[in-house]
Structure 1
Amino acid sequence: MPPGPLRVVIAEDSVLLRDGLAQLLGMRGVEVVAAVGDADALLAAVAEHRPDAAVVDVRMPPTQTDEGLRAAVEIRRTHPGTGVLIFSQYVETAYAAQLLGGAGGGAGIGYLLKERVVDLGEFVDALGRVAAGGTALDPEVVARLFGASRRGSVLDTLTPREREVLALMAQGLTNQGIAGRFVVTERAVEKHVANIFSKLGLSPAEGGHRRVLAVLRYLEG
């Protein structure tokens, strides 16, 4: 992520929510370069401004179904350096799985549920992680996507604790954060993470993106 304020585009069809979110983010030092109300305007704004991240609702005009998610998939294809944070009250599994499957390099992916975000600081932190190439996935989203896609796979070789660690990695937690959640040492978490990488066939050559790739393997089932 480049130095300076985080630059974002907001796509939300509700004027009150769109303007309110833009104002709140601005108070936290985030530069909202565009705030739009439909998918076509979102794609145009991303092409024009090349933001660090886009905050996208799932359902937007004209059909109020999955326009936002389909636009997010297009952004991942045409502007892989722009992080995408889905911010919605709905979990749409089909296009969400496609969106996540297109990640792995460049900027990151997030999917947060509106009713479960209660702290603006945490939201801004999640937005920053996504722009920097990480993940920020609500546990409920992880559960829904994982349940929708799970079949017999290499994931079956993970221990129950390794699965728990991987689920927390999907939420964007660091090793230190995971250690605090389980009340164990960070070294113990590092061992679990190393085992996860090994079992999923992720070599050290894949560098810092191994965490994102591991999360994608987890969601793809």
Structure 2
Amino acid sequence: MLKRLIDLLASICGLLVVLPVLIVVTVLIRIKLGSPILFSQLRPGKNGKLFRMYKFRSMTSETDEHGELLPDAQRLTKFGQFLRSASLDELPGLLNVIKGDMSLVGPRPLLPEYLPLYSEHQARRHEVRPGITGWAQVNGRNTLSWEQKFDLDVWYVDNQSLLLDIKIILMTVQKVIRRKDINQQGEATMTKFTGSDSQKDDN
């Protein structure tokens, strides 16, 4: 209950403080990328319950001759890369925190299609609300393997505390300023999770 109260107060205050930034980013996205301004997608939250997550749009909607979206690397512009490296694309997530779908700190919400691919251990990341930032994000972010990320997520579930959350937020600020660990090596974004090696061996 204390964490939820802190999330709520901090998110409301945060939105008020960054309101000028939100307005500027909104205008720039409209000019450089067009509509829609926001990217929304269903993501699993606490206990795997789906919610609609909001981010600032950072990619174009370009498609190939078959009407399929082009790969991320071709749709991610320099402006979009800047939004991601500065974590400005995550600011609308404060609305999700206010709604109670997310927390400021917790495992990052991933795609619903990953749910049946998790091991029992990995699925424990859904025992808490997902976060705008998390233990995995400040310990390597997209440079980590999926297995490493999930291990860090579960470690957070088992060790969460107010002091740890404060530490993660301070480390996040440092990462954002230094713009480290944004992308996986050789990829514009993180490659999709297809199941852990142990699961594949069992199958």
Specify if TM > 0.5: no
Q: Normalised by the size of structure 1, how large is the TM-score?
A: 0.26
Structure 2 length-normalised TM: 0.27
Structure number with higher relative contact order (C-alpha < 8 Å, ≥ 6 residues apart): 2
